[in-house]
Amino acid sequence: MFKDLRIGTKILVIILFTSLTALLSISIISYTEMLNLTQYSQNANIQLGITSSTKSQEALLSQAEAFLKKIAIEQANNINAVLYQVESELGAARDFTEKLYANPDNFIGYELPLPDKTEHGVAAAKYMLPIGVEKTQAIKSELRILSNAEYMLASLVAHNVNLDNIYMGTENGISYRYSSSSAYDKKYDPRKRSWYQDAFNNKREIVWLDTYLDPFGSIGVTAAMAFNNEQNKIHGVIATDITLDSITHIILNTKIGKAGYAFLLDNKGSYIAHPKYSEKNFEKSPSQKATGSWADVLEDMNQGKTGVDVATIDGSEKYIAYAPLPVSNWSLGIVVPIDEVTLPARETKVIIDQYIIEAQNYIHQTLSDILMDFIVLFTLCTMTLVFFAFIFSKTITKPLKQLLISAEHIGKGNLDNPIEETSKDEVGQLAKAFNAMAANLKQYITNLSTVIAEKESINSELNVAANIQNDMLPRIFPIFSDLDSVRIFAQMTPAKEVGGDFYDVFFIDEAKTKLCCIIADVSGKGVPASLFMVITKTILKSNISLGKNLQDAIIQANLLLAEDNNSCMFVTVFSSILDLSTGEFTYVNCGHNPPLLCRKGERFEYMNITPSLPLAATDFSPYMSEQIMLQAGDIIYMYTDGITEAMNKNNVIFSDNTLLNDLNLIPMHDALEPEEIDIFIRAKVEAFVDGANQSDDITTLVLKYTQK
C-alpha cells in the first residue's frame, strides 16, 4: 500500500515516522536508562551497605583476632613469670640444700622441733619421722644439717606471697617442713607421696603436680625438685605448695568488652581459673564433654599451641585466643563473643540502610516528574514536525517529477538523450549524475565484453596447464603392483590451479631393482612455480636416469638449474634410491624437510639428515649422499612444508611435533598400506586448519619396504 502513494506523501510519512520514532526512541531510551540508573544506584547503594558492613566486620574481626592473641600472650607471659619465679626460687633452695650436704662441717645447726612443738599459724621449721624410722645418730646429724636451710627458706616464703610453704623429704624418711601449720601425722612418709616419687624419678628437673583445692577453697599446685647429697647422688626432694590466688586474680580481672573473660587450663585440660569456677554445677574438665570446634581448641591448648580460633561455646560462636605457659605446661585462654566484636559494624549497616531508603524515595519521585515532562515535550514536538514536514515534502516533489520524466528515457535504453540540468541543488546534481552514468554505461558495456573474453581464455589455459602438470606426476596407485618388495603412495594438492610441488617415482635400471623416489617444493606458487617445477623434474629425472651415483647426479642438476636463473627461484628436494634386493636406502637432501622413518614395530622418528642448500640457490653446493638400511616393514614418510606449515584461523601452524605425534597415533603401522597412512595424516591436517584457506601446496610420498 505504501509503494502506491505519491512521493510527496511518502516523504511526509517518512519524515513524520522517522522524526517521531527518533523522538519516541530517545524518550524511551532516556527514561529506560534513567530507570536502569535508578536500579543501578539502588543496587550499588545496597551493595555498598553490604560491602561496608562486611568490610567493617572483617576489619573488626581481624583487629579483634590480633588484639585477643596479643592479650592472651601477654597474660600468659605474666602468669608464666610468676611460675618461673617460683621455679627459680625453688631451684635456689635446692642448690642451697645441696651446699649444706656437701659442706656439713661449715654449719653448726640446731635441734629441730616436731610440728606439735611449734606455734600454729607462725611460720617455722620442723621435722617428722614416719613410723618405723628410728632417730639414730645419723638421722640427728642430718637433721642438724637441714636445720640450716631455715635461713634461706624463711626469706623465700616471706618475700613471695605465692609460696605457702617449702618442705623436703629424704631417702632416710626425714620430713622437713618450713610452714605456718603445726599439723602432725605420725603415719606420714614423704617417700610414698606422689610429689616425692615424681620428682625423684625425674632426676633434677622440676615437676609440677596436678592442681588441687586446699581446705579453704583456694586452688593450689605443688612444684618439686630432687636434690643430691655429698656423693652427688639423689638423696631427697624439695617441694613447695603454691597458692594460685594471685594468678586467679589476674584471670578473673581480665575483662574484654562486656561479655569477654579469661580462663586457665592445667596440663591435664582441667580448669585452674574461670569466672564460673565457684558455681555448683560448673564442669571442671571441659574437654570431657566438648565437641566440634571447641574440642579442637581444647586439644590445641593441651598441646601447648598459640592461636586464635572460632568455637561454639554454650550455643553461641565465640573467639578464643590462647597461649601456653611453658614453665608448667598450662594454657591461658581469652573468650569474646563474635556478636560483641561485630556490633559496631551491624549498627553502621542499620544507619546505611536508612539512608538508602530515603535516597530511593527521592529518585522515584524525580523519575515521575521527568516522565510527565517527556509526555508534554513529545506532544509539542509532534505538532511542530507535522507542520514543517508538509512544507518540506512539497518543496522536494516538484523538481523530482520533472526528473522522473527524463529518467524514464534512460531506463528505456536511450543513453544518447541527456537529462536537462535545471538547478544546482541535490536534484540538479542527481540529473548531472544520471548523464554521467549514461556515458559510463556505454563505455563499461564495451569494456566488459573484452574482459569476459580474455578471462575465459586465461581460465581455459590454466585448466590445460593443471592437466599437463597432473599428467607429469604418477597418479595411479598402487604403482608397481607387480612387485612384492615395496608399496608406494603419493599425492600433490596445489594451493592454486597449478603448483610448485612435485614428486616422482621411477626405476633407474632395467632389472627394476633400484627405485628412485623424489619429493620437491619450488619456491613460490602459481604459474611461475609450476614452470620451474617442470624444468626441475625433467633435469632431475634425466640426470639420475643416466646411471650416475645419486650425489653426482644432484650436483650436476644443481649446476644446470642455477645457470641463467635470473628469476632467483630455488627448489628444496629430497631424492633417494632404494635397492629393492638389499634394502639399502641412499639419499641426498637439498634443503628439504627431513622425512620420518618408522622401523617395524617401533615409533616414527625424524631422520638424521645433513643440512644443505636448496637446488638453484647457488651454482656450487657440496651435496652429500647418505645411506641407511631398510628392513621389511620399515616405512618412510616424505612431505613438503605445506603439511607442517598448514595454518588454522588463529594463525597457528600444524608444526613438526604435531606431525610426529599424529603419525605415532596410527595403530599398527606395519599392518597399514601407505595410502591409509597418508589419508590419516591429511585428515588430521584438514581437521586442524578447520576450514582455513590452503596457503601452500601439500605433497606427500609414503614408501613401505616389504622385501621378504
The DSSP element (H or E) to which 36 belongs, if any, is helix 7-102
Cα dihedral 493→494→498→501 (10° resolution)? -90
Rounded to an integer, what distance in angstroms lies between the CA atom of residue 665 and that of residue 670?
A: 13
pLDDT, residue 636, reads 96
Rounded to an integer, what distance in angstroms lies between the CA atom of residue 561 and that of residue 570?
A: 8
Q: Is the pLDDT of residue 398 over 80?
A: no
pLDDT, residue 237, reads 95
For residue 637, give Cα distances in angstroms to 47, 55, 597, 678, 699: 65, 66, 7, 9, 11
pLDDT, residue 326, reads 87
pLDDT, residue 186, reads 83
* Residue that wins the pLDDT comparison between 203 and 693: 693
Q: Is the pLDDT of residue 402 over 80?
A: no
- Amino acid, single-letter form, for residue 272: I
Q: What is the mean pLDDT of residues 561-569?
A: 83
The DSSP element (H or E) to which 332 belongs, if any, is strand 330-337
pLDDT class of 76 with cuts at 50, 70, 90: confident
Angle of helix 338-411 relative to helix 426-472, nearest 10 degrees, comes to 100
pLDDT, residue 437, reads 73
Q: What is the pLDDT of residues 340-365, one digit of tens each?
A: 777 666 666 677 777 778 777 887 78
pLDDT, residue 368, reads 81
pLDDT, residue 566, reads 78
Tell me if 275 sits within 8 A of 261, measured CB to CB: yes
Tell me which range, 239-248, 423-432, 441-450, is most confidently predicted by mean pLDDT: 239-248
DSSP structural state of residue 241: E
pLDDT, residue 447, reads 66
pLDDT, residue 472, reads 60
Q: What is the mean pLDDT of residues 679-703?
A: 92
Q: Is the pLDDT of residue 564 over 90?
A: no
DSSP 51-100: HHHHHHHHHHHHHHHHHHHHHHHHHHHHHHHHHHHHHHHHHHHHHHHHHH
Q: What is the pLDDT of residues 237-247, one digit of tens each?
A: 999 988 777 67
Rounded to an integer, what distance in angstroms lies between the CA atom of residue 294 and that of residue 287?
A: 8
Tell me if 339 sits within 8 A of 268, measured CB to CB: no
* Residue that wins the pLDDT comparison between 65 and 295: 295
pLDDT, residue 358, reads 77
- 667: Cβ contacts below 8 Å, ≥ 6 apart: none
pLDDT, residue 30, reads 74
> With DSSP H G I counted as helix, E B as strand and the rest as coil, what are the percentages for the chain, rounded to 5?
50, 20, 30
Max distance between CA atoms of the chain, in angstroms, equals 159
* Residue that wins the pLDDT comparison between 6 and 194: 194
Q: What is the pLDDT of residues 154-212, one digit of tens each?
A: 899 888 888 888 999 999 999 999 998 888 888 899 999 999 999 999 988 899 887 77
Is the overall model pTM greater than 0.85, yes or no? no
* Residue that wins the pLDDT comparison between 363 and 487: 487
Q: What angle do CA 319, 323, 329 make, to 5 degrees?
A: 135
Q: What is the pLDDT of residues 643-676, one digit of tens each?
A: 999 999 999 999 999 999 999 998 877 778 999 9
Q: What is the mean pLDDT of residues 414-435?
A: 68
pLDDT, residue 625, reads 93
pLDDT, residue 399, reads 63
Which residue, among 607, 606, 636, 605, has the nearest Cα to 705 in the 3D structure?
A: 636
Tell me if 673 sits within 8 A of 635, measured CB to CB: no
The DSSP element (H or E) to which 632 belongs, if any, is none
Average pLDDT over the chain reads 82
pLDDT, residue 468, reads 55
Tell me if 483 sits within 8 A of 452, measured CB to CB: no
pLDDT, residue 663, reads 94
Which residue, among 541, 551, 465, 552, has the nearest Cα to 504 in the 3D structure?
A: 541
Tell me which range, 345-349, 421-425, 498-502, is most confidently predicted by mean pLDDT: 498-502
Tell me if 577 sits within 8 A of 508, measured CB to CB: yes
pLDDT class of 474 with cuts at 50, 70, 90: confident
Cα dihedral 67→68→72→78 (10° resolution)? 40
Rounded to an integer, what distance in angstroms lies between the CA atom of residue 164 and that of residue 102?
A: 28
Q: Is the pLDDT of residue 415 over 70?
A: no
Rounded to an integer, what distance in angstroms lies between the CA atom of residue 193 and that of residue 237?
A: 11
Rounded to an integer, what distance in angstroms lies between the CA atom of residue 9 and that of residue 53?
A: 64
336: cell is 569474646
Which long-range contacts does 612-615 make (Cβ < 8 Å, 24+ apart)?
613/570, 614/523, 614/570, 614/571, 614/572, 614/573, 614/590, 615/536, 615/554, 615/557, 615/558, 615/561, 615/562, 615/570, 615/571, 615/572, 615/573, 615/590, 615/591
* Residue that wins the pLDDT comparison between 130 and 386: 130
467: cell is 592437466
pLDDT, residue 397, reads 66
Q: Is the pLDDT of residue 464 over 70?
A: no
Task: Tell me the domains of the chain and their CATH numbers.
Answer: 108-147+163-243 (3.30.450.20), 473-705 (3.60.40.10)
pLDDT class of 448 with cuts at 50, 70, 90: low
Among the ranges given (385-389, 408-412, 532-536), the one the predictor scored with the smallest mean pLDDT = 408-412
The H-assigned helical ranges of 287-425 are 292-302, 338-411
Residue located via cell numbers 647418505: 626
Rounded to an integer, what distance in angstroms lies between the CA atom of residue 622 and that of residue 612?
A: 8
The DSSP element (H or E) to which 220 belongs, if any, is strand 219-228
Q: Is the pLDDT of residue 685 over 50?
A: yes
Considering the chain, what percentage of its residues have pLDDT values greater than 90?
A: 34
- What strand order describes the sheet that includes 501-507? 501-507, 514-522, 571-579, 584-590, 625-629
Q: What is the pLDDT of residues 23-61, one digit of tens each?
A: 777 778 877 777 777 777 667 766 766 676 667 667 767
